[in-house]
């Protein structure tokens, strides 16, 4: 005797519907993403190659992000250096004119102090939450007390005069030279006495196998040299100084400015070289990333046109299955006898 039930007829149909629903979900996902829903199933041994390609692209993108931070820092550095050079060159011209014409040095004290303030402001430049002249100490203000250098120089000078029984108004050029050459004055422009910046610059790997310095530190000699010249002019060219002492100060400051300008120019040129290197590295990284991304896309891409047709077919199949299942569920002996 053979038994027939609606349950036995609908069970295989339910299984078919579940399979079709799963296939439809996968096809719809692949159409929307353009990639395989199950990479391992589709690519097999090729999965490792795809993952390696994606990993390399991610690594290249990391270089690009790091380079963007370095570029922002270097751009701010370059802007500050341009202003520093302009100030130094302008003051140098003023000093040279004062020397050659024998004109009054009355305005040099104010100009020197103003230039020093501008230099300190430039060295305290920040970008992206980092002090660009801090070296590796990016979170520390290079020169927290703008008046510290001037005050220390004035104190050292008064100590020199007192300890030697001298007066500013009667100083000889030799006596002034002795003070300007002494550690009591020159040490104010070295190391931590001048700046809280780290003497070590930041190093960045801008591309695979390519590392370069991507920052400048306030402890570099260029800044210390011009700061020394500015301090001399700001502190020791006032009306209370002897003519001989002022002449020596102006002459010494002029030489330091010349040296400092050359050094600042060299620092700025180094920044420009680094900016160029980063730009070239970014170009190479972009080209490599495009090639790798294209290769990965070719491995992982699906035929969205064919899948769209498959989605339509599966939807039609499911609708027919739903309708047939509904009819089978309505079959019963009572309905059969009633119909009879």
What's the pLDDT at 100? 76
CB 213 within 8 A of CB 203: yes
- Scanning the structure block, which residue is given the tokens 């005050």? 151
SS3 213: strand
**Residue 105 corresponds to which tokens in the numbers above?**
């040095």
148-164 vs 173-181: helix axis angle to the nearest 10?
130
Q: Which residues pair with 127 in a beta bridge?
A: 130
The verdict on pTM exceeding 0.85 is no
Give CA–CA dist 301/26, Å, rounded. Answer: 14
What's the pLDDT at 26? 58
What's the pLDDT at 3? 47
SS3 34: coil
Non-local (6+) Cβ contacts of 332 within 8 A are 6
SS3 67: helix
CB 171 within 8 A of CB 244: yes
164 alpha carbon, distance to own chain's centre: 52
In terms of DSSP H, where are the helices of the chain?
Answer: 6-33, 39-43, 47-101, 108-123, 148-164, 173-181, 183-186, 191-194, 221-236, 243-300, 304-330, 333-339
| pLDDT tens, N- to C-terminus, the chain (340 residues) | 444 555 554 555 556 666 656 555 655 555 555 555 555 555 555 566 656 776 777 888 888 899 999 999 999 999 999 999 999 999 999 999 888 765 567 689 999 999 999 999 999 999 989 999 999 999 999 999 999 999 999 999 999 999 999 999 999 999 999 999 999 999 999 999 999 999 999 999 999 999 999 999 999 999 999 999 999 999 999 889 999 999 999 999 999 999 999 999 999 999 999 999 999 999 998 888 888 867 766 555 554 555 566 656 656 666 665 565 555 555 554 555 555 5
SS3 126: strand
What's the pLDDT at 1? 46
What's the pLDDT at 31? 53
Give CA–CA dist 218/196, Å, rounded. Answer: 8
């Amino acid at each position: 005797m053979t038994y027939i039930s609606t349950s036995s007829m609908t069970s295989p149909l339910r299984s078919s519907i579940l399979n079709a629903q799963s296939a439809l979900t996968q096809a719809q996902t692949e159409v929307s993403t353009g990639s395989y829903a199950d990479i391992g199933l589709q690519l097999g041994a090729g999965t490792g190659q795809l993952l390696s390609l994606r990993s390399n692209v991610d690594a290249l993108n990391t270089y690009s992000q790091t380079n963007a931070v370095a570029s922002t820092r270097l751009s701010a550095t370059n802007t500050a250096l341009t202003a520093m050079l302009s100030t130094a060159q302008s003051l140098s011209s003023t000093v040279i004119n004062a020397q050659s014409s024998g004109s009054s040095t009355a305005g040099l004290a104010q100009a020197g102090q103003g230039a020093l303030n501008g230099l300190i402001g430039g060295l305290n430049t920040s970008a992206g939450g980092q002090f660009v002249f801090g070296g590796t100490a990016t979170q520390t203000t290079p020169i927290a007390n703008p008046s510290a250098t001037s005050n220390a120089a004035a104190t050292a000078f008064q100590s020199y005069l007192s300890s030697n029984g001298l007066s500013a108004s009667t100083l000889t050029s030799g006596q002034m030279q002795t003070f300007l050459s002494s550690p009591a004055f020159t040490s104010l422009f070295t190391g931590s006495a001048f700046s809280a910046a780290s003497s070590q610059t930041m190093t960045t790997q801008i591309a695979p196998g390519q590392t370069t310095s991507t920052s400048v530190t306030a402890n570099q000699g260029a800044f210390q040299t011009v700061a020394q010249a500015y301090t001399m002019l700001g502190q020791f060219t006032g009306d209370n100084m002897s003519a001989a002492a002022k002449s020596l100060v102006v002459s010494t400051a002029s030489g330091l400015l010349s040296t400092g300008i050359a050094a600042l120019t060299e620092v700025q040129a180094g920044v420009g070289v680094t900016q160029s290197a980063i730009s070239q590295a970014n170009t190479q990284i972009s080209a490599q990333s495009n090639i790798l991304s294209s290769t990965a896309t070719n491995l992982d891409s699906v035929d969205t046109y064919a899948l769209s047709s498959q989605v339509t077919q599966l939807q039609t199949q499911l609708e027919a299955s739903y309708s047939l299942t509904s009819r089978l569920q309505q079959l019963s002996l009572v309905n059969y006898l009633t119909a009879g």
